[in-house]
A and B are shown apart, each in its own frame.
Chain A
Amino acid sequence: MKKYASDWKVVENIRLHSNYCLLKLSMDAVIPEMLPGQFVQVRVDGSQTTFLRRPISVNYIDRNKNELWLLIQLVGDGTRNLAKLQIGETVNLLYPLGNSFSIPKTINDDNVLLIGGGVGVAPLLYLGSQLTSQGYNPTFLLGARSRKDLLLLEEFQKYGEVFVTTEDGKSGEKGYVTNHSILKKKHYDFIYTCGPSPMMHAVAAYAKQSGIPCEVSLENLMACGIGACLCCVENTTEGHICVCTEGPVINIEKLKWQI
């Protein structure tokens, strides 16, 4: 896929709560094709302590409004600067980067499960919307530390049934996603997951034990985002591969995780 570098205009920058913002961007040209699971490299200007672009997953593309959504967790100075962007300001992106989630051809409509944790739910919204538009009826299982960390629930509900876990039990079932009762009640044929590393390991272990194909979206530290620097590598059955070009989506069969 052809990659681009261009300036985008901030249409909206919504602070979801103290730690997250939803940045909606647009541009004059029609947004080119972007696949679920792909990401963009966001340039951050004027940040004292950061230097590199920030890799952020495509959260959603609103084709009617020609908008790209980025769901951003405020972690350091780079992302905090992005949260301060005002409507009308511009931000430079490299896009679309990375591979994508694979959409299986031979399963029942209802048997795809998308498991997200924290800000890792971001790429699953766009994946869910794409699955729905292709006739699937995806199920979402979203985990968070507390109720306030559950992000964009009403958006997910547009594309499928949503189950929730929180660590304090104040929303949905108490505990982790891998303990949710839905996993015992129903068999799934394909699992996609993105979230904190311990969560993805637990989901991958569950999928492997249950014999369910599973794709994870990794968030390795990255510099260039286009396969030039070889910094973001993951050790796989094929050796060190760049998460930015051969990922971020990787089938668990290929990973060398101890699961």
Chain B
Amino acid sequence: MANLKVSIGNLSLKNPVMTASGTFGYGTEFLDFMDLSCIGGVFMKGTTATHREGNFYPRMAETPSGMLNAVGLQNKGVDYFISHIYPEVRKYDTNMIVNVSGSTIEEYINCSEKINELEDIPAIELNISCPNVKQGGMAFGTNCQSASQVVKAVRNVYRKTLIVKLSPNVTDITEIARTVEAEGADAVSLINTLVGMAIDAEKRRPVLSTVTGGLSGPCVKPIALRMVYQTHKSVRIPVIGMGGISNVTDAIEFILAGSTAIQIGTYNFIDPAISVKVVDGINEYLDRHGFNSVEEIIGGLEK
């Protein structure tokens, strides 16, 4: 039995497997299918300073080995989270992490300040990469100047572990990663979804109400893996890798590419207990290859 513990900033994870924001609700939705205490953490649904209705239906299109979504950060706002959701999720025996989203820097600050006060939320994931909101979101994460501004502002008010979620919809993701590292991010997580589009040929219309949406699932894995690999070589802070992870082999590949921890996203929809299976599989892999801890294989590609 290998040691699966890893650290991200001040955050200790019992193992490197977590679930990705927007694919796992608040964890509550999955309690019938798995034991949350078996995984390293849960990144909860994107939370904003105020209530958002999200985009109009249709918000989803299935694609070969993946899907497009255009949910648009539907959530009831941070105050509702604190009063109605936090009292329940704080009881879960794993790291419950809030994904903080917004359209303006003030909104990010407002939300982060409030989450900072919650004793049992050990970290936030700053979402500067949501492709599905008209203002803000991804706009912050696609150029260094705005990424720098928003991370700096949030770092000023948020004292615990700050993870910044990066957009793949950029020319050079390492440039953004280095920028947010310089502003005090404790870790980066990547990738968020890739902007894509689906068309209904019979109706001669876009499938999504928003025309474009975010692509996720196994189809994005090679791109995600490449970006994790590049980013790991370019920053000193930990990288949390994600993008199409569907089984233990995928997870191992992301760790070898340089991920200290990984997130499982879209595949939770296919197998709601996949994250626990991946934890077991990592253990088995490490034993089979004679490693004592998962840390030994982080960024551990053979030369």
Contacts and interface: CB of A to CB of B under 8 A. Distances in A.
A228 B71 CA distance: 11
Contacts of A232: 57, 60
Contact of A51 (B30, B67, B272): B67
B268 A52 contact: no
Interface residues of A, number: 30
Give chain B's interface secondary structure class: loop
Contacts of A196: none
B63 interface: yes
B122 interface: no
Interface string A121-143: 00000000000000000000000
A3 B33 contact: yes
A94 B272 CA distance: 9
Give chain A's interface secondary structure class: loop
A49 B74 contact: no
A172 interface: no
Interface in B204-229: 217-218
Interface residues of B, number: 35
Contacts of B266: 223
B217 to A, nearest CB: 6
Given A229-B22, A229-B69, A43 B59 contact: no
Contacts of B184: none
A229 B33 CA distance: 16
B283 to A, nearest CB: 22
A232 B61 CA distance: 11
Interface of A: 2-5, 43, 48-53, 94, 220-235, 239-240
27 contacts: A4-B32, A5-B271, A5-B272, A49-B64, A50-B62, A51-B270, A52-B269, A53-B269, A94-B272, A223-B60, A223-B67, A223-B269, A224-B23, A224-B268, A225-B269, A226-B272, A228-B24, A228-B268, A229-B60, A229-B69, A229-B71, A229-B269, A230-B45, A230-B59, A231-B59, A233-B59, A239-B53
